[in-house]
Structure 1
Amino acid sequence: MRYSILLSVIVLAVGCREKMPAPPPGPVPVVAADVIVRDQPIYYEAMGQTLGSQDVEIRARVEGILESVHFREGAMVEKGALLYTIDPSTVEANLAQARGALAQAEAADDKARRDVRRLTPLWEKNAISRQMLDDALAAQHSASGAVVTARGAVDNMEILLGYTKIHAPIAGLIGKTEVKPGNLVGRGQNTLLTTLSVLDPIAVRFSISEKEFLTLQHVIPEDQQALASAAIFELVLADGSSLPDKGKVVFVDRSVDPATGTMLLEVAFPNPGLLVRPGQFGRVRAPIRTVAGAILVPQRAVQELQGTHSVFVVGEDGRAEFRPVRVGPRVDNLYVIESGLHAGEKVVVEGGQKLQNGTAIALQPAAPASE
Structure 2
Amino acid sequence: MFSIWPSPIRAALFLALPLVALTACEDQAQQQAGGAPPPPTVTVAEPLVRDVIEEAEYTGRFEAVEFVELRARVSGYLDSINFQPGDVVQAGDLLFVIDQRPFQLDVDRAEADLSQERTALRLAIRERERAEQLVANRNISESVFDERVQTEQASRARIQASQAALRQAQLNLEFTEIRAPVSGRISREQVTVGNLISGGTANATLLTTISSVDPIYFFFDVNEADYLRFARVAANQGDAERTRVTLALADETEFINQGEVDFVEPRFDFETSTVTLRAVLDNPNGTFIPGLFAKVRVPATDEFEAILVPDDVVGTDQTTRFVYVIGEGDVAEARPVITGPLIEGFRVIEEGLRPGERIVINGLQRVRPGAPVTPEPGEIRDVFAESRP
TM-score by length of 1: 0.67
Per-residue deviation, residues 277-335 of structure 1 (Å, max 9, x unmatched): 222122232434333224466499799x9xxx7547679999999x7x76644446665
Q: Which structure has the larger Rg?
A: 2
Higher helix share: 2
CA 35–336 in structure 1, closer or farther in 2 if over 3 Å, else same: farther
Q: Distance in 2 between matches of 1:34 and 1:148?
A: 90
Answer yes or no: is 1:291 the counterpart of 2:304. yes
Per-residue deviation, residues 103-155 of structure 1 (Å, max 9, x unmatched): 33223322222221121111122222222222222222222111111111111
Contact 2:325–2:358 under 8 Å retained in 1 = no
Q: Which of the residues 109, 121, 129 maps onto 2:121?
A: 109
- The residue type paired with residue 99 of structure 2 is D
Q: Distance in 2 between matches of 1:220 and 1:72?
A: 47
Instruction: Trace 1:145-156 onto structure 2 (pairs within 5 A).
Output: 145-156=157-168
CA 201–69 in structure 1, closer or farther in 2 if over 3 Å, else same: same
Answer yes or no: is 1:280 the counterpart of 2:280. no
- The residue type paired with residue 75 of structure 2 is E
Q: Distance in 1 between matches of 2:342 and 2:204?
A: 49
Q: Distance in 1 between matches of 2:163 and 2:116?
A: 11
How far residue 234 of structure 1 moved from its aligned partner, in angstroms, is 1.6
- The residue type paired with residue 280 of structure 2 is A
Partner of 2:212: 198
Partner of 2:252: 240
CA 252–134 in structure 1, closer or farther in 2 if over 3 Å, else same: farther
Q: Which of the residues 85, 101, 104 maps onto 1:92?
A: 104
Q: Which of the residues 213, 218, 222 maps onto 2:235?
A: 218
Secondary structure of 1:284's aligned partner? strand
Secondary structure of 2:134's aligned partner? helix
Q: Distance in 1 between matches of 2:189 and 2:77?
A: 15
Q: Which of the residues 63, 66, 72 maps onto 1:54?
A: 66
Per-residue deviation, residues 69-108 of structure 1 (Å, max 9, x unmatched): 1111112234433211111122223223322332332233
Per-residue deviation, residues 10-60 of structure 1 (Å, max 9, x unmatched): xxxxxxxxxxxxxxxxxxxxxxx9996543331243333212333333321
Contact 2:231–2:240 under 8 Å retained in 1 = no
How far residue 268 of structure 1 moved from its aligned partner, in angstroms, is 2.3
Partner of 2:135: 123
Q: Which of the residues 128, 144, 154 maps onto 1:132?
A: 144
- The residue type paired with residue 205 of structure 1 is F
Contact 1:245–1:270 under 8 Å retained in 2 = no
Structure 2: 5+ residue stretches without partners: 1-43, 370-389
**CA RMSD after TM alignment:** 4.1
Contact 1:295–1:341 under 8 Å retained in 2 = no
Partner of 1:8: none
How far residue 205 of structure 1 moved from its aligned partner, in angstroms, is 2.7
Structure 1: 5+ residue stretches without partners: 1-32, 352-357, 359-371
Answer yes or no: is 1:271 the counterpart of 2:271. no
- The residue type paired with residue 302 of structure 2 is R
Q: Which of the residues 165, 169, 188 maps onto 2:177?
A: 165
Contact 2:306–2:349 under 8 Å retained in 1 = no
Answer yes or no: is 1:256 the counterpart of 2:267. yes
Secondary structure of 2:66's aligned partner? strand
Q: Distance in 1 between matches of 2:254 and 2:161?
A: 60
| Alignment length (residue pairs) | 310
CA 85–243 in structure 1, closer or farther in 2 if over 3 Å, else same: farther
Secondary structure of 1:150's aligned partner? helix
Partner of 1:22: none
Secondary structure of 2:258's aligned partner? coil
Q: Distance in 2 between matches of 1:242 and 1:175?
A: 31
Percent identity between the two aligned chains: 27
Partner of 2:193: 181
Contact 1:295–1:338 under 8 Å retained in 2 = no
Q: Distance in 1 between matches of 2:238 and 2:325?
A: 47
Q: Distance in 2 between matches of 1:174 and 1:268?
A: 21
Contact 2:113–2:162 under 8 Å retained in 1 = yes
